[in-house]
């Protein structure tokens, strides 16, 4: 049974605040272990990787080489159900088309006094993509991370994936191949992150690491941050559905459960102005829960973190939604545009009853790597921008320098920076 | 005496690599202390802030209120030398004009089959700006952080600044006022970061914290990251000057020293194809060092981390520059455009002999908050983008859903996610 809140309750504000700050993730402190692993890989390189793979993945590089061969990739592509391959290609094409629009344009210009200013974007030289093993090994996530990197023009994309006894999910290899990733190593965990950040005899280091992973991988990414760039550290998934009375409760229940089945820490929230709909959705959730393959996970998530919030007016859902800042926000209402412009904080918005969030997970074209745990208040989903960086350019001639010099010298002096003042003044034979 | 490297040396590659990986920053481990302070501020709010301010800043909020009054800000603006105020206004106007061009445009469109896709940018609701006390309290940095936030449309900008015995550098307050910052608190250190992240009775929490600080502030920013967004953690400043023989050694020496005077950990590097120029610049540095107010700092920086690298051909400087990925790169050569296009990794490029880096520190218009310690390989300088976030939007009608459904259902099933498949299928009366 999920939490039930009503705006009409006297202590609603207090209860909503408590709900908002409930922690959904127990983060084990693995920092010391991870630090040791990273230090070991920096020190011993491939030898350390070989040892960890033997220990954690029952994998001997003397028998199965660390790098996946082109033949293995081709074989995976052949072995996967053609319907799935087609679906992956369909998704990749849509993702590519949408992300191509995100490529930022250079802006090089001269201002009114002839100072040349500019922003120039270049792709990151090399990016590492971590793909988890086991059940969290999603081919769709390979596309969502690799396609934007390729669109950005990243010349080298390296994938690492733990391979228990050497085996990699062939659909993951197929997705990698479709996304154009050719450099793949069967390593995982903190040791894979260390290898990407610092390099080994076999693996050249990269400049940035993206992709989801377990607590060890997340801790390792935090520790190597600075040496390389990293993407966000994603928490459990979440969906907020804002719904009016004119909904089929079964549709909404399915949407709530699509989040809940991801993880026991996932969160599904319904906000509605109709308590009857709320109760009907709750009942539908209970019914559908029985039919799911991941019923246990979904049941725990809905029981521990699920919520139905009844508001007086649909417009009252907006301030709540902006505080929740959900990763996914569905607007299942007759007039979604009346709400859309009032949403400030959300990773992605799914507009109208015929846009289930799941479309965005796979084939909408937009990215499914989105800010969780209220971080949509200050951050964005993965995009081409995560794979490029901007260099600013400044260009003065003697005349422009003459015009800007006095203010620069004044400010340098006021900050007590003699050499700063001198560096400008000396070019104009002024007093520094 | 700086390091001297020549490309002609047999072991140049090895020596350059060692030079590249030399650590310039000793980071004290203050994590435990900082964690305690953060927990204390979360627990006790204003009372904790009052206690820390008494202890660290000899400041009693019973006598001097935590929040700076509008009268104090107005008084500071009056008390500062009008020439400095004018220079700050001149700088702010140029920064504003340049940054206004960085505002990203929304992109809302329909694709060929009528799927609505979109990227919508919104300003972050509230941003905190940390300003250090003491000699590192730069008014120019107030402008560089606050103006882009205001350009982005951030409705609430909060500044915190430690105030020894209550006093704040009036030029800092003047800069804040010019940048339109009105909510200013005299608190500093990890406790100020905690107050911004979690809020207290007096201070509403913000969604993102930017600005430089000491080891405690940096550690606190790392620890609250996730609860709020943070900007980069900046290391010591650095400049790389690529120069041909046709330079006045004194100009280049002044540029190198403008970095060196910042910090003993700062780094100044000259790459030239003319060993004679290299020696002349070294001599000029030694001469100028004697005249600087911050001679001790600059001497230590140049001695410990300064470098002159002699290459055979100016074009050979490009691969080195891309590996160094300097925060600031000056192209002091006859034909800077011949080099410009080959630079992939740099925070900012200063083109030609009449563009000393110092212009970019103050009045160029571009931002002086730039990636240090080789992080220009994967990150960018501060910009309007740091103060906005992107929400993606997806909008399907029944017909679009019908077209995208089969691939989505196929992929959901292949990932073992029943409820995902059902959430799409149920809307079309298909088998989930």
Q: Provide the number of CB pairs (under 8 Å) joining chain A to chain B.
A: 368
Q: What CATH architecture applies to the domain A3-25+235-364?
A: 3-Layer(aba) Sandwich (3.40)
pLDDT at B1: 74
Is the separation of the CB atoms in B111 and B100 below 8 Å?
no
Tell me if B258 and A423 make a contact (CB, 8 A cut-off): yes
Contact B419, A288 (CB under 8 A): yes
Q: Are strands B267-272 and A307-310 parallel, antiparallel or unpaired?
A: unpaired
Q: E-strand spans in B57-197? A: 107-110, 116-123, 126-130, 156-160, 183-185
The pair phi, psi for residue A257, each rounded to 5°, is -75, -25
Chain A contact present for B229, CB below 8 A = yes
Helix A398-414 with B139-152: angle, nearest 10 deg: 110
Strand-strand pairing, B388-395 and B116-123: antiparallel
Q: What does DSSP assign to residue B67?
A: B
- Exposure string of B188-216, with b = 16+ CB inside 10 Å and e = fewer, is bbbbbbbbbbbebeebebbbbbbbbbbbb
Give the distance from residue B338's alpha carbon to the nearest chain A alpha carbon, in angstroms. Answer: 14
**Which residues of chain A are within 8 Å of residue B378 when distances are taken between CB atoms?**
124, 207-208, 228-229, 389
Q: Give the SS3 label for residue B312.
A: coil
Kindly provide the ipTM of the predicted complex, given to two decimals: 0.96
Residue A117, SS3 per DSSP = strand
Tokens of B297: 């700092």
Answer yes or no: is B345 a known binding residue: no
Q: Same CATH topology for A3-25+235-364 and A396-428?
A: no
Q: Give the gyration radius of chain A's Cα atoms.
A: 26
Chain A residue at shortest CA distance from B229: A378
Structure tokens at B33: 């202390």
Going from the C-alpha of A54 to that of each of A198, B95, B393, the distances in angstroms are 21, 55, 45
How far apart, in whole angstroms, are the C-alpha atoms of residue A394 and residue B351? 6
CA distances from A201 to A47, A66, A256, B22, B138 (A): 9, 12, 47, 21, 45
Positive or negative: CA dihedral B121, B127, B133, B137: positive
List the single residue in B with minimal CA-CA distance to A400: B354
Measured CA to CA, the distance from residue A208 to residue A149 in angstroms comes to 11
Confidence tier at B254 by pLDDT (50, 70, 90): very high
Please provide the size of chain B in residues.
432
Q: Kindly list the distances between the CA atom of residue A332 and the CA atoms of A276, A295, A360, B115, B379, in Å, as whole numbers in the listed order.
A: 16, 25, 15, 17, 38
Nearest CA in chain A to B82: A410
A3 bridge partner residues? A307
Residue B401 with chain A: CB contacts under 8 Å: 354-356, 359
DSSP of B251-293, one letter per residue?
Answer: HHHHHHHHHHTT-TT-EEEEEES-HHHHHHHHHHHHHHHTT-T
**Catalytic site residues of A?**
327-328
Q: Is A233 on the interface with B (CB under 8 A)?
A: yes
Q: Give the pLDDT confidence score for residue B432 in this predicted structure.
A: 55
Q: Which residues of B are catalytic?
A: 327-328
B8 and chain A in contact, CB less than 8 A: no
Closest CA to B390 of A5, A273, A66, A383: A383
Q: How far apart are CA A122 and CA A128, in angstroms?
A: 17
* A31-104+125-230: CATH number: 3.40.50.1980
Report the distance separating Cα A383 and Cα A393, nearest Å: 24
Q: From the centroid of its chain, how far is CA B191?
A: 21
Strands (E), A147-247: 156-160, 183-185, 208-210, 229-230, 238-243
Task: Look up residue A392 and give its two tokens.
Answer: 């600013």
Q: What is the pLDDT of residues B227-241, one digit of tens each?
A: 999 998 888 999 999
Out of B88, B102, B424, name the one closest to residue A359 (CB).
Answer: B424
CA proximity to B203, closest of B53, B388, B97, B63: B53
Report how far residue A195's alpha carbon sits from residue A201's, in angstroms, rounded to the nearest whole number: 10
Q: Is A347 on the interface with B (CB under 8 A)?
A: yes
CA B74 to chain centre: 28
Query: Residue B431: pLDDT above 70?
Result: no
Chain-chain contact of A394 with B97 (C-beta, under 8 angstroms): no
The reported pLDDT for the residue numbered B137 is: 83
What is the second-level CATH architecture of the domain B235-378? 3-Layer(aba) Sandwich (3.40)
Which pLDDT score is estimated for A374?
A: 94
Asked if residues B338 and B263 have their Cβ atoms less than 8 Å apart, the reply is no
- Residue spans of the domains in chain B: they are 31-102+125-230, 235-378, 396-428
User: Which are the contacts of B14, defined by CB distance < 8 A and separation ≥ 6?
Assistant: none
Q: How far apart are CA B149 and CA B128, in angstroms?
A: 10
Q: Quote the pLDDT of residue B61.
A: 96
How far is A332 from A355, CA to CA, in rounded Å?
A: 8
Residue B157: per-residue pLDDT? 98
Helix or strand run (H / E) with residue A329: strand A328-332
A180: number of Cβ within 10 Å: 13
Q: What is the mean pLDDT of chain B?
A: 96
Average pLDDT (B206-215) is 95
**Series of mean pLDDT values for 10-residue runs along chain A (432 residues):** 92 94 79 95 98 96 96 96 98 98 97 97 98 87 98 98 94 97 97 98 98 93 92 89 98 98 95 98 97 94 97 97 98 98 98 98 98 96 98 98 98 96 93 58
Interface of B with A in 361-380 (CB under 8 A): 361-367, 370-371, 373, 375-380
The alpha-carbon gap from B371 to the nearest alpha carbon of chain A, in Å, equals: 10
Sign (positive or negative) of CA dihedral A406, A412, A418, A419: negative
Here the tokens at position B44 are: 């006790």
CA–CA gap between residue A95 and residue B389 (Å, rounded): 20
Tokens 């590249």 locate to B20
Which residue, among B163, B211, B221, B225, has the nearest Cα to B190 in the 3D structure?
B221
**Residue B64 DSSP symbol:** S
User: Distance between CA atoms of A256 and A238, rounded to whole angstroms?
Assistant: 9
3-state DSSP of A264-285: CCCEEEEEECCHHHHHHHHHHH
CA-wise closest residue to B231 among B385, B407, B19, B431: B385
Q: How far is it, in rounded angstroms, from Cα B432 to Cα B429?
A: 9
What's the pLDDT tens digit per position in B375-429? 999 999 999 999 999 999 999 999 999 999 999 999 999 999 999 999 999 999 8
A426 at interface of B, judged by CB pairs closer than 8 A: yes
A99-112 pLDDT tens trace: 999 999 999 999 99
CA distance A95 to A362: 9
CA distance B270 to B278: 8
Strand-pair category, B183-185 with B156-160: parallel
According to CATH, the superfamily of the domain at B31-102+125-230 is Nitrogenase molybdenum iron protein domain (3.40.50.1980)
Name chain B contacts of A383, Cβ cutoff 8 Å: 119, 390
Q: Which H/E stretch holds residue B243?
A: strand B238-243
Helices (H), A206-349: 215-224, 249-260, 275-289, 295-305, 317-324, 336-340
Q: How far is CA B187 from the centre of its chain?
A: 21
Does any CB of chain A come closer than 8 Å to the CB of residue B25? no
What CATH number does the domain located at B396-428 have?
Answer: 1.20.5.1300
The pLDDT score that the predictor gives to residue B116 is: 98
* A412 vs B: CB within 8 A: yes
Query: What pLDDT is recorded for position A260?
Result: 97
């Amino acid at each position: 049974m999920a939490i039930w809140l009503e705006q009409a309750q006297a202590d609603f504000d207090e209860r909503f605040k408590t709900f908002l700050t409930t922690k959904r993730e127990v983060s084990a402190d693995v920092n010391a272990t991870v630090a040791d692993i990273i230090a070991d890989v920096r020190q011993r390189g491939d030898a350390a990787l070989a040892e960890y793979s033997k220990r954690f993945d029952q994998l001997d590089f003397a028998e199965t080489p660390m790098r996946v061969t082109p033949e293995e990739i081709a074989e995976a592509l052949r072995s996967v159900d053609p319907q799935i391959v087609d679906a992956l290609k369909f998704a990749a094409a849509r993702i590519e088309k949408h992300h191509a629009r995100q490529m930022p344009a250079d802006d090089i210009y001269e201002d009114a006094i002839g100072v040349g200013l500019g922003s120039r974007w270049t792709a990151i030289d090399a990016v590492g993509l971590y793909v988890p093993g086991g059940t969290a090994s999603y081919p769709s996530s390979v596309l969502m991370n690799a396609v934007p990197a390729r669109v950005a023009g990243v010349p080298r994309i390296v994938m690492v994936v733990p391979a228990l006894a050497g085996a990699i999910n062939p659909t993951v290899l197929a997705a990698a191949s479709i996304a154009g990733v050719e450099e793949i190593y069967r390593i995982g965990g903190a040791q894979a992150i260390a290898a990407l950040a610092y390099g080994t005899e076999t693996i050249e280091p990269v400049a940035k690491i993206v992709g989801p992973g377990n607590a060890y991988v997340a801790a390792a990414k935090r520790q190597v941050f600075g040496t390389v760039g990293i993407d966000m550290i994603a928490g459990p998934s979440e969906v907020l559905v804002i719904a009016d009375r004119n909904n089929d409760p079964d549709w909404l229940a399915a949407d709530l459960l699509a989040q809940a089945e991801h993880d026991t820490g996932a969160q599904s929230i319904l906000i509605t102005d109709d308590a009857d709909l709320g109760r009907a959705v709750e009942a539908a959730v209970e019914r559908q829960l029985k039919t799911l393959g991941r019923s246990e996970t979904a049941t725990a998530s809905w029981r521990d973190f699920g919520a139905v919030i009844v508001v007086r007016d649909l417009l009252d859902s907006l301030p709540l939604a902006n505080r929740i800042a959900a990763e996914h926000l569905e607007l299942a209402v007759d007039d979604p545009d009346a709400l859309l412009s009032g949403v400030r904080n959300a990773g992605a918005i799914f507009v109208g009853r015929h846009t289930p969030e799941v479309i965005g997970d796979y084939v909408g074209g937009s990215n499914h790597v989105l800010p969780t745990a209220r971080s949509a208040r200050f951050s964005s989903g993965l995009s081409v921008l995560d794979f490029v960086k901007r260099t600013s350019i400044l260009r003065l001639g003697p005349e422009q320098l003459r015009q800007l010099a006095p203010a620069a010298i004044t400010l340098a002096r006021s900050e007590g920076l003699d050499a700063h003042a001198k560096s400008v003044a000396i070019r104009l034979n002024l007093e520094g």
